[in-house]
Amino acid sequence: MSVPEAVPGGPLPQRIAMLSFHTSPLAPLGGRETGGMNVYVLEVARGLAALGVTVDVFTRRTDEAGAEVEEFAPGARLVQVTAGPEERIEKEDLLPYIGPFVEGVDAFRARHGLEYEAIYSHYWLSVVAGDLLAARWGAPHAGMFHTLGDVKLRARASESERPERLEAERRLVHRLDRIVAATEHERQLLRQIFRVDGGKVAVIPLGVDLRMFTPRPQAKARARLGLDPERRSVLAVGRIEPLKGLDILIRAIGQLQSRVPVDLLVIGGDERAASEVARLQAIAAEVGAGSTVRFLGPKPHESLADWYAAADVVAVPSFYESFGLVAVEAMACGTPVVASRVGGLASTVVDGRTGYLVPWRCPEPFAERIELLLRNEPLRLALGAAGVERMRAYDWSAVAARVGATLAALVEEHRRGLAS
């Protein structure tokens, strides 16, 4: 799947408000609430600003430090809004602070005499806030859910979801003027589960920074990272939580130890992941991989390209991924991916060409595919090269152009509706 061409929709909006209520796009990656969505918001805001759109990204302030307004690219800035205690709060407990957040965003707009032509909200909490602001401002509202509670439950990627989330998403999919989905699969789910008109959904995949994530010699990457140049390694990157399926991957690594000794390097997690890390370490010890599974903690996003290049295989064993940004970044670096056949991963990883998709949530098929790549170097290199070629269509600038065209069309529709 390639990034769709931008469709005509009139001139780009002059100024938009992006909402990322529960997490800042500038927060370090790998924490419980930081991952692909943070990268998306940051890169799309930068891309839109490069096209001439002034972008304000609003987020809830989580500490007293830092300026209220921080420009992170020419024409794009982060605005921290005080809404509730200025401390980190679990996103499951943030619903009561949406009202104060809305008031804070509107007060900022009024104080600076600004007018936003469109709102682009991210994750259901932001969409709730955006719905209130859209009514107040009379502005069109686009939203990207990134994950949907009903979809996670159906995929058994979550044991339970809060009723407030399920109710809000079921209501807001029909309230939004436009829904942005990362894959055609997601558009079909919106139609099947919520009866959303497919024409209301713009399919725009996530992207990858092809200047940052590019092939590089494995030996040099390992030397820079201080890794043993002779050890084979599998890499997993992302939040450390049950949804990510790392227990399955660890059991697969345990099965491989007697046949193809390999290290599993896990990047991600913060102090709140300590209990899950302890559970996973116990599993590693149980399967005889205690000394070969290494939890490295979060790493700066700009350092990940070396980690991808240093690895022989990148594994994404998640129970659900709306897109799978880690897989895209790994393929852009020329490293083949072994991933679960779920959600957006089934759209980005081409089975047998850029990596392998595993349809079963059990260790054996992961071990089998990883072993195949570790034993067959020409195959591993060929799949890596195919991944690099495929990712050329996923440059963030193309994604931002498509988002800009979608917002332009939305603004034009809104103006025509006001004039009629």
What is the per-residue pLDDT across 209-262, written as a single tens digit (0 to 9) for each? 999 999 999 999 999 999 999 999 999 999 898 889 999 999 999 999 999 999
Q: CA nearest 281: which of 313, 237, 315, 247?
A: 247
Q: Convert the pLDDT of each residue in 270-316 to its tens digit.
A: 888 899 999 999 999 999 999 999 999 999 888 999 999 999 999 99
Tell me if 414 sits within 8 A of 374, measured CB to CB. Answer: no
Q: CA nearest 350: which of 390, 393, 396, 313?
A: 390
Interatomic CA distance for residues 51 and 11, integer angstroms: 11
pTM of the complete model? 0.81
Domains, the chain, ordered by start: 15-207+395-419 (3.40.50.2000), 218-393 (3.40.50.2000)
Q: CA nearest 43: which of 305, 384, 310, 404?
A: 404
Work out the pLDDT band at 135, boundaries 50, 70, 90.
very high
Interatomic CA distance for residues 78 and 412, integer angstroms: 26
Interatomic CA distance for residues 147 and 153, integer angstroms: 11
Q: Convert the pLDDT of each residue in 334-372 to its tens digit.
A: 999 999 998 889 888 999 999 999 987 899 999 999 999
* Backbone torsions φ then ψ of 233, nearest 5 degrees: -145, 145
Interatomic CA distance for residues 8 and 407, integer angstroms: 11
pLDDT of residue 35: 67
Range list of H helices, 112-261 = 123-137, 149-154, 163-175, 184-194, 218-225, 246-256
In sign, the C-alpha dihedral spanning 131, 132, 133, 136 is positive
User: DSSP secondary-structure letter at 84?
Assistant: S
Residue type, 250: I
